[in-house]
Structure 1
């Protein structure tokens, strides 16, 4: 497996801190890690989630509201 040189910046969050920030149980961030749907860092047997990766994950889930044009009739 080829390793990429990804630079992790910012604070590293524990699974518990990530779960608190997502307002979920610890099971959800653990599932994200297991399914490799979020960037994470292994430090020995510990797993940490970069705060920037969590911000990016949240941002990709943002759905903007539809703007209705009130002057146009369909």
Structure 2
């Protein structure tokens, strides 16, 4: 598996959330896009980073981390 893909465990650790939270977000169609390889869920790193950037912008935080 490519190192550009994150498992749910890796994403949960990155965001300090539980696996149950990620599962709920997938069910509610919240969070970054994901895909399945056989029965394994994966997140592309570029999708995770894009989601993080969009979330920061929606909170009014610019790219430098300062208030917009």
TM-score under structure 2 length normalisation: 0.69
How many Å separate the matches in 1 of 2:50 and 2:16?
Answer: 16
CA deviation digits over 1:28-70, x for unaligned, max 9?
Answer: 222222222321111111111111111111111112225xxxx
SS of 2:43's equivalent in the other structure is: strand
TM-score under structure 1 length normalisation: 0.64
Give 5+ residue unaligned stretches, structure 2.
62-66
More helix by share: 2
RMSD, matched Cα: 2.0
Partner in structure 1 of residue 44 of structure 2:
50
Instruction: Kindly name which structure, 1 or 2, has the bigger radius of gyration based on alpha carbons.
Output: 1
The count of aligned residue pairs is: 58
1:1-74 aligned within 5 A:
11-37=4-30, 38-62=32-56, 63=59, 64=61, 65=67
Partner in structure 2 of residue 6 of structure 1:
none
Give 5+ residue unaligned stretches, structure 1.
1-8, 67-74
Runs of 4+ with deviation above 3 angstroms: none
How many Å separate the matches in 1 of 2:48 and 2:24?
Answer: 14
